[in-house]
Structure 1
Amino acid sequence: MDWDDFRLVRSVAEHGGLARAAEHLGINPSTAFRRLAGIEAALDTTLFDRHRAGYALTGAGLAMVEAAGRMEADVARFTRELAGQDRSPVGDLRITTPAGLVADMLMPVLARFTVRYPRIRLHLLVSEEALNLSRHDADVALRASDAPAANLVGRRLATIAWAVYGRSEFTGRPTEECPWVVPGDGVAGGRFVRFRESHAAAERVVLTLNTVLGLREAVEAGIGIGPLPCWSADARPGLVRLSDHLPELSAGLWLLTHPDLRHAARVRAFMDFMTEEIVTLRPGIEGKTAPPR
């Protein structure tokens, strides 16, 4: 058996059926069907019980999926160890970060980084979900978090401050009487649910978003007032800070990597450079450069 057999069985198990597994692997469903039948014939055993609701692993199938997980972990560990032997800042560097940090904060910094390190090729993976650095999904993560994964190493660069903002016409109005724009229940682990319940009555919420991205644009458009990171909102002349800092929404800004990669020259160069840059940006990130107006 080869690695592709294990990948197919694991994908079917993860996606609950052949069609979605085939799409994930980039193959035709009929090809996936024939390959799975061939694997079961070669092993002389059934790997899945077929039901209307999908494919359910048998004991043999579960053992094969567990073996696939161990194989993938070994490959990822080898890749990290090999990458960690780099001695010069050159090669590919994959950075993952949420969309809200990209445009206003990260792009100008990346532009300066490419000037200093022209031999490092950057790959930016914009994702609201935390990619798995242990699986080598990315090399470095820039994340807003109060509890980064224990298996990663890195630096807390700043504390991201939040406050309530709105257009100037909302100045002087009680915030509880204003229309509100807020992130939805699933954003940031439900952190905004508690904030909304304590600051905005349900009938005052006129727009929810399933991501922080777009929140500032909605507030700038005058749809309502809402919580925004200070580094983003204070730079917009059309917005006014309507509250003090909101400690319940603040979060650490972390730069993280896997321990096997921290000595790789390109990773070390990026983390040192980002630390230098964030020091100069920290007053704005922590909301200290623009007092409430």
Structure 2
Amino acid sequence: MLTHDDLALILAIARAGRMKQVAEMLQTHPATAYRRLEALERRIGNPLFERGADGYVPTALAEEITQRAGDIEQRLDELNRAVAGRDNRLRGTLKVTTADTLAYVVAPIVLSFADAHPHMSVELQFSNAMADMARNEADVAIRPTHAPPEALVGQRAGRFGFAAYSANGDGDVRDIAELLAARRWIGLAPALMHAPAARWLRDHVATERVGASVDSFFAAAVAARSGAYALLPSYLGDEPSLGLVRRSEPVPELASEIWVLTHPDLRHAARVRAFTRHAAKALRERLA
């Protein structure tokens, strides 16, 4: 007999393939997840995963269980969203996800909302990956994008651009083309090549001009404090505590937007409505 916890374990292993990631998904220790899998396989009398150099590969039995468990999980997620969407109480926990570049912007917004609603708490998650809101990984997403996912609903809260920043400067703002021959730029690693700004850097800054590459815009902002140039979103580069100076005009083709988004099933929930209104208003004021 399979339990709900068994199904969660099988789904996590099938999706992640490695115990370290499985443990993170289930909020447990890798050794505990491994022991649970061994005990489960002994109980049902069949192997569920083949162990190999590339991780855990589902057997035919595990694939069948995964497919059916995935259907159950999807229906449960739909039911949970339907219940949450009818919740008219301004209390409980609200899960908000945003990019790490927006930390300086979003954290004060979350805290001011919490101050105004003492019966609520906000769980703020920083990740450059879009949360799967269909699986209830988050209630609200605040994302920098000019093309929000069609499966979500929300409102545009502001616009921003990308420009060159560094810790040193004479105060003059130049056309970015004048800075491309500079000796040191902070590059962006292949993991960020989905971002238009990363592709722009790759296409316009010669390899020999790149002093170092980083895997996030936040890391690029920190690296720019050394005096190198970094291509940053204006809401991050203009953050006073970073001590950076804008060295160029914004790059026109990199203009983008910030959106406050939620799943359609959650848009009528009182806590979601209250937070999205609060966040959108605060973002418009900050980005004006």
Q: Same fold (TM over 0.5)?
A: yes
Listed one character per residue, the Cα deviations across residues 143-178 of structure 1 (whole Å, up to 9, x for unaligned) are 111222211111111122111122215957941231
Q: Which has the larger radius of gyration?
A: 1
Q: Which residue of structure 2 lines up, in the alignment, with residue 109 of structure 1?
A: 109
Q: 2:262 aligns with which of 220, 235, 257?
A: 257
Aligned to 2:97: 96
State the identity as a percent.
30
Within 5 A, what are the aligned runs for 1:202-213?
202-213=207-218
Distance between the aligned counterparts of 1:275 and 1:23, measured in 2? Answer: 31
Between 1:225-234 and 1:206-215, the stretch displaced more is 225-234
Question: How much does 1:80 deviate?
Answer: 1.1
Answer whether contact 1:23 1:29 (CA < 8 A) is retained.
Answer: no
Q: How far apart are 1:71 and its partner, in Å? A: 1.2
Rounded to whole Å, the distance in 2 between the matches of 1:189 and 1:115 is 37
Matched-pair contact (CA < 8 Å) for 1:155–1:256: yes
- CA shift at 1:281, angstroms? 1.8
Between 175-184 and 234-243, the greater mean CA deviation after superposition: 234-243
1:184–1:192 CA contact under 8 A, matched in 2: no
What is the distance in 1 between the residues matched to 2:213 and 2:19? 35
Counterpart for residue 252 of structure 2: 247
Q: Which residue of 2 aligns with 1:282?
A: 287
CA RMSD for the aligned pairs? 2.6
Aligned to 2:278: 273
Question: What is the DSSP-based 3-state SS (H/G/I as helix, E as strand, rest coil) of the residue aligned with 2:142?
Answer: strand
Q: Does 1:34 align with 2:35?
A: no
Query: How far apart, CA to CA, are the structure 2 residues paired with 1:116 and 1:18?
Result: 41
Residues 126 and 18 from structure 1, CA distance in 2 versus in 1: closer, same or farther, beyond 3 angstroms? closer
Match of 2:9 in 1: 8
SS class of match (2:218): coil
Could you tell me which amino acid in structure 2 is paired with residue 140 of structure 1? V
Q: CA deviation at 1:254?
A: 0.8
**Distance in 1, Cα, partners of 2:244 & 2:23:** 48
Matched, 1:232 2:233: no
- Which whole-Å deviations, capped at 9, do the CAs of 1:15-37 have from their partners, x for residues lacking one? 43678646754325234212123
State the alpha-carbon separation in 1 of the partners of residues 201 and 273 from structure 2. 40
Q: Tell me whether 9-18 or 192-201 shows the greater mean CA deviation.
A: 9-18
Deviation string, structure 1 residues 181-216 (Cα, Å, up to 9, x no partner):
132222261423431234311111102110111222
- The aligned counterpart of 1:176 is 180
Q: Secondary structure at the match of 1:96?
A: strand
Q: 2: distance between equivalents of 1:165 and 1:78? A: 47
Q: Distance in 1 between matches of 2:49 and 2:237?
A: 52
What corresponds to 2:119 in structure 1? 119
Shift of 1:93: 0.5
Give 1:107-186 correspondences, 5 Å limit.
107-166=107-166, 167-168=168-169, 174-178=178-182, 179-186=184-191
Displacement, 1:51? 5.3
Unpaired stretches in structure 2, ≥5 consecutive residues:
none
Alpha-carbon separation, structure 2, partners of 1:64 and 1:209: 40
Q: Give the structure 2 partner of residue 291 of structure 1.
A: none
Whether the 8 Å CA contact 1:17–1:55 is kept in 2: the answer is yes
| Maintained 8 Å contact 1:22/1:29 | no
User: What is the TM-score of this pair, normalised by structure 2?
Assistant: 0.85
Offset, 1:55: 4.1
**Cα separation, 2, equivalents of 1:71 and 1:282:** 42
Question: Aligned in 2, Cα 1:195/1:38: closer, same or farther, shift over 3 Å?
Answer: same
Residue 79 of structure 1 is matched in structure 2 by 80
What's the CA shift for 1:47? Answer: 4.2
Q: 1:212-263 CA distances to partner (integer Å, 9 max, x unpaired)?
A: 11222222221x1121222232343954332221133332201110111101
- Structure 1 window deviating more from structure 2 (195-204 vs 169-178): it is 169-178
Letter in 2 for 1:134: A
TM-score (norm 1): 0.84
Letter in 1 for 2:218: L
Tell whether 2:224 aligns with 1:219. yes
